[in-house]
Copies of this chain bind each other. A is one copy, B any other.
Amino acid sequence: MNKHRAVVGNILARYAKLSQATLLRDLPRQSPAYLYDLLADYPGRSAKGLRPALCLAICSAFGGEIRRALNSAVAAELFHNAFLIHDDIQDESEQRRGLPTLHTLHGVGIALNVGAATNLLGLQRIMANREILGSRLAWEIAAETEIMFRHSLEGQALELGWIHENACNLTDNDYYRMCLKKTSWYTCIYPCRIGALIAGQTAHNGSNLDQFAWYLGAAFQIQDDLLNLTGDYAVYGKEILGDLWEGKRTLMVIHLLQNLDGADATRLRTFLGLRREQRTDQQVRWVLDCMRRTGSLTHAERCARELADAAQLEIDKALYGTPESDDRNFLLAMPEYVITRDY
C-alpha cells in the first residue's frame, strides 16, 4: 500500500465507521416492512464513506467541531444512498457493493419507494440542523442541499438523455459538464461546502475549495469508469464492464467515438444504439479491445492525472495556513488517492 492510500485509508475508515454507525443507529424501526426494513440495505453494505469523510475532514481542518457536522455528513451519505438506489434502477444495474441491486431483489416499485424514503431521511436531518446549528446556518445548508439536488438531477438527465438519443458526437467537455453535475456536486462540492460552512467559513462560488472538489470529483468518476472496465469484481463490487452493457458515455467511449472510422465507427454507433438486452458479450469485448488498441484507456488515465494535479494545487491553496492535522493530511492526499484506488 502506498503512502497516500495509508494516510487516506485511516481517516476514511474512521469517518466511514462513525457515519455508518450513526446512520444505521438512527434508522426508524417500524412497519411497513417493505419500506423500513429495506432502508438499511445499501447503507449497511461496505462502502468507502467518501462523502461524510470529506465533510467531516473539511470541517475539522478549518477548526470546526466534528460533532456539529456529523448530522450533515450522515445526510450527505443518505442522499448518496438514495441516488444509488434510483441510479441502479435508471441504469438497470445488476450489482452494487458486491450484492444484487435493490430493484433486482425487490422489484422496481419497492426500490423506487425506498430510494425516495432514503432522501426523506436525509431531508429530515437537514431540518434537524435547526436544533443543532441554529436557524441561520441550518438554512444555508438547506439552500446548498437544494442546489446539490438540482445539479445532480441535471447531470443524471444529461447522461440518460445521451443514451436515449444515442448521442455520438460528444466531446470531453460534454463529459466534464455531466460529471461536474452528476458526480462532483454531491460527492465533493456539497460535502466540502457544508463542512466549511459549519466550521464558520463563507462559501463562495469558484473558491479554491470549490475548484478542488470539482476536480476531485471528476478524477474520482474517471477512475470509477476505468475500474468498471478493468477492475477486479471481488474488490470493485459492481459488474465489470457494466458501463458498456448500459451504453454509458464515459471519457473512454467518447474518445473511441472520436478515433474510430469506417466500418468500426459504424459498428460502435450501432452497438451504442442498442438496448441493453440486445447487446452481446462478444460486442462488449470488442468495444473494450478497440479502447485498448486506440489508447482510450491511456487517454482517460491521463485526464484523471491532470485533474488530480489540478485538485492538488487547489487544496494546497485552500488549506494554506491551517494547522497540521490528520484531517489536513487526509485532504492533501485525496487527489492521489482517488486516481490510484482499486475500488
A215 to chain B minimum Cβ distance, whole angstroms, is 22
Query: Contact between A86 and B146 (Cβ–Cβ < 8 Å)?
Result: no
Collect the chain B residues with CB atoms within 8 Å of residue A235's CB. Answer: none
Which DSSP category, helix, strand, loop or mixed, fits chain A's interface? Answer: helix
Query: Contact between B112 and A35 (Cβ–Cβ < 8 Å)?
Result: no
Assembly CA distance A251 to B160 (angstroms):
39
Is A161's CB within 8 Å of the partner chain B?
A: yes
Collect the chain B residues with CB atoms within 8 Å of residue A107's CB. Answer: 160, 164
Collect the chain B residues with CB atoms within 8 Å of residue A130's CB. Answer: 139
Is A24's CB within 8 Å of the partner chain B?
A: no
Among A151-159, A266-274, A331-339, the one that faces the other chain is A151-159
Collect the chain B residues with CB atoms within 8 Å of residue A206's CB. Answer: none
**A33-B161, A135-B135 known; A120 vs B106 contact (CB < 8 Å):** no
Is A91's CB within 8 Å of the partner chain B?
A: yes
Collect the chain B residues with CB atoms within 8 Å of residue A143's CB. Answer: 127
Is A117's CB within 8 Å of the partner chain B?
A: yes
Q: Could you list 14 examples of A-B contacts with CB < 8 Å?
A: A32-B157, A34-B161, A35-B157, A86-B113, A89-B108, A89-B109, A107-B164, A109-B164, A110-B157, A110-B161, A112-B112, A117-B153, A123-B123, A127-B142
